[in-house]
Amino acid sequence: MNLTFAHFPFLSAILLSCVTGLVLILLAPGDRKGLIKGIGLVFSGITLLLTVILFCSFDRTRGGLQFVEKIPWVKPFGISYFNAVDGFSLPLLLLTGIIFFTGVLTMWELEERVKEFLAFFFLLVTGVFGFFMSMDLFFIFVWYDVSLFPMYPLIAIWGGTRKEYGAMKLFLYLLAGSALILPTIIFLFVRSGLNTFDVVSLMQPGTFTSLDQRFAFILLYLGFGILAAVWPLHSWSPTGHVAAPTSVSMIHAGVLMKLGAFGILRLAIFLCPEGWQYWSQVMAVLAAIGIVYGVLVGLRQTDLKYVVAYSSVSHMGIVGLGLATVTVDGLNGAVFQMFAHGIMTALLFSSLGYIYDRTHTRMIPELGGMSRTMPVISIYFIVGSLAAMGVPGFGNFWAEIIVFIASFRTYPILGAIAVAALVLSALFMLRVVQKTFYGPPNAHFADLPDVRFGLGLPRLILVAMMILFGLFPWLMLDVIQTASIPLIGGLP
């Protein structure tokens, strides 16, 4: 694994812009809401810009770890402040930047306790960025918990349906996941005998025995799998989604669930490759069940947010299936799907958040004919659901196709089941679209305003991203391949 050290600490700059924004928000007086929102917008914009520049300046021919920053911190335990970017984390950093910015824009109309909300939001995103960038196990765990903690107040204070229950369930369940992860990290630290928490050193072949790897892999898989909505550990997700306010749902489904999948990739797969191969069939079965199950349960839901939440469970199953194939294509598809699904689900939540803000209901039987009342926001939602169904022209199509090809090659039956789920997901999304947006308009909501350009901007950005990577998928795949090919090549 070749390391390219950074001339300019780009990654720390990204973290710094989030932290500076956080500090400025905390210092600003609580009643100057416009000022606070402005600070939030500016700093999330700066962060987005930095991630885009990072994405473009990643050297695709060299690959390996780039923009490396390594400063030893606690020498007796081998803990160092080690940030780096590789083909796997780069798309996710870009994703976080995009959803951060669009999330802040989506909450533009918030009036209640804006300062606290944005402070927690910035803290959350800082934790997420740190997680994706870090190559030191200790810091990875710290950032995981930093990103976890703000979820509780964000949902419990600004949330909706059953917010206390949802916040508690989400927080405790994810904390249970971290209770599985921390001992395993310590286990790995002790068993390696190298006295370091550094991923790069630990991933050298021969560091761990085969048995250790299998043991550690399953624990890490289950621990991160809770966050990645692996069936049957997924049930915190729908409850949490429904309870959370709109931007938090966007971050939750768009980024946080990817944190789990990425955790599996960065920790379990990088450090325990033999464990990965050993457990891959179990992973594949669970993923396939998740794909079909998410859709089947979603068919019966009447709350729009539950619908999108269960569709997320299903799509994360596709990520899991890609990871389970132990092939280059599978990894490519899985990471691409992480990116594409994140954008799509953020779009869906953002659009339905707008509708909810105006109509104060998310129940499908009460809505109807929204296309006539609010055509523009309806188009955004419908575009999002088309992407969810795997219609070509959006990035999701390519991600799903690559995962299906890879899984069909390795597990033909499971691959066929996953493909068959395409029909079910089409049924499920089309039914929702029909009942909510088509049909005669509901007189109750007949004179609600449609989204103006300013408020529609976040959704527009998300749609543009989906189409961009749908038409030019190589922009993303070239990046991912710099990491997936060496990883599979180095497998025993």
Partner 1 sequence: MIPALIRDLNLALIVTALSLPLLSFGVISVFTRPHPRVSAAISVGAVTSALTAVLWLFAMNRHMHQPIAYAGRWFISGKVVICFGFLLDPTSLLMLTLVALISCLVQIYSLGYMAGDPGFSRYYAFQSLFAWAMMSLSVSSSLLQLYVFWELVGLSSYLLIGFWYEKFSASQAGKKAFLMTRLGDTAFLIGLFMVLINLGDLNILALDSAGAAARMSPFMITASALLIFGGIVGKSAQFPLLTWLPDAMEGPTPVSALLHSATMVAAGVYLFLRLFPFFSHSESAMTVFLSISTVSMLMASTMAMVQRDIKKVLAYSTISQLGFMIMALSAGGYFAGAFHLTTHAAFKSLLFLCAGVWIHHYGTNDLFDIGRRGGRRARVPMVCLIVGAGALSGVPPFSGFFSKEAIMATLAALHNPVWVAAGLAGAFLTAYYTFRMVFIILFPRDTEGEPHADAAGHKRTLDRLMHGPLIVLSVITLALGFFKEPLKIFLLTRQEFTGSGAVGHSGVFYGSMALVFVGVAVAWFEFGRKRSPRVGFVERVPFLKALFSNRWYLDYVYHKMVKTVLDGTFSRLSAENERLAINGGLDLFARFTVASGRVLSFLQSGILRYNLMVLFAVVTVLILFFWIG
| Residue 437: closest CA among 366, 358, 378 | 378
If the CB atoms of residues 249 and 484 are measured against partner 1, the closer one turns out to be 484
DSSP 136: B
Least CB distance from residue 328 to partner 1, whole Å? 3
Query: Does residue 373 interact with partner 1 by CB under 8 A?
Result: no
Among 393, 448, 457, 468, binds partner 1 (CB under 8 A): 393
Q: How far is CA 87 from the centre of its chain?
A: 16
Instruction: List phi, psi (to 5°) of 275.
Output: -60, -40
Give the interface segment with partner 1, choosing from 6-14, 63-71, 250-258, 327-335 (CB under 8 A): 327-335
Query: Does residue 127 interact with partner 1 by CB under 8 A?
Result: no
Please give the Cα distance from 173 to 223 (Å, whole number): 10
The three-point CA angle 198-199-201 to 5° equals 70
Query: Does residue 426 interact with partner 1 by CB under 8 A?
Result: yes
If the CB atoms of residues 142 and 391 are measured against partner 1, the closer one turns out to be 391
Site for partner 1 in 207-246 (CB under 8 A): 232, 234-235, 239
Number of residues binding to partner 1, judged by CB under 8 A: 55
If the CB atoms of residues 54 and 387 are measured against partner 1, the closer one turns out to be 387
Cβ-based neighbour number of residue 453 at 10 Å: 8
Question: First vs last Cα of the chain: how many Å apart?
Answer: 16
The token duo for 74 is 């606690």
Query: Does residue 427 interact with partner 1 by CB under 8 A?
Result: yes
198 Cβ neighbours under 8 A, 6+ residues apart: 78, 80, 82, 135, 136, 137
Least CB distance from residue 233 to partner 1, whole Å? 9
Among 19, 422, 448, 457, binds partner 1 (CB under 8 A): 422
Query: Does residue 485 interact with partner 1 by CB under 8 A?
Result: yes
Helices and strands: H and E segment counts in the chain: 22, 3
If the CB atoms of residues 416 and 468 are measured against partner 1, the closer one turns out to be 416
Query: Does residue 333 interact with partner 1 by CB under 8 A?
Result: yes
Query: Does residue 152 interact with partner 1 by CB under 8 A?
Result: no
Give the interface segment with partner 1, choosing from 18-26, 37-45, 150-158, 396-404 (CB under 8 A): 396-404
* Sheet architecture: strand order including 3-5: 3-5, 65-74, 79-85
Site for partner 1 in 158-197 (CB under 8 A): 169, 173
Least CB distance from residue 287 to partner 1, whole Å? 16
If the CB atoms of residues 342 and 473 are measured against partner 1, the closer one turns out to be 473
Among 60, 183, 434, 490, binds partner 1 (CB under 8 A): 434
Site for partner 1 in 452-481 (CB under 8 A): 473-474, 477-478, 481
| Residue 125: closest CA among 99, 152, 153, 90 | 99
Backbone φ/ψ region at 193: left (φ over 0), alpha (ψ -120 to 50), beta? left
If the CB atoms of residues 72 and 490 are measured against partner 1, the closer one turns out to be 490
Instruction: List phi, psi (to 5°) of 3.
Output: -105, 130
Report the sign of the C-alpha dihedral through residues 130, 131, 135, 136, in that order: positive
If the CB atoms of residues 157 and 176 are measured against partner 1, the closer one turns out to be 176
Give the interface segment with partner 1, choosing from 22-30, 190-198, 251-259, 399-407 (CB under 8 A): 399-407
If the CB atoms of residues 83 and 436 are measured against partner 1, the closer one turns out to be 436
Please give the Cα distance from 2 to 331 (Å, whole number): 20
Site for partner 1 in 10-29 (CB under 8 A): none
7 Cβ neighbours under 8 A, 6+ residues apart: none
Give the interface segment with partner 1, choosing from 10-18, 63-71, 113-121, 291-299 (CB under 8 A): 291-299
Please give the Cα distance from 232 to 357 (Å, whole number): 32
Please give the Cα distance from 132 to 135 (Å, whole number): 8
Chain residues that interact with partner 1, rule: CB under 8 A: 169, 173, 232, 234-235, 239, 293, 296-297, 299-300, 327-329, 332-333, 369, 371-372, 386, 391-393, 397, 401-402, 404-406, 408-409, 415-416, 419-420, 422-424, 426-427, 430-431, 434, 437-441, 473-474, 477-478, 481, 484-485
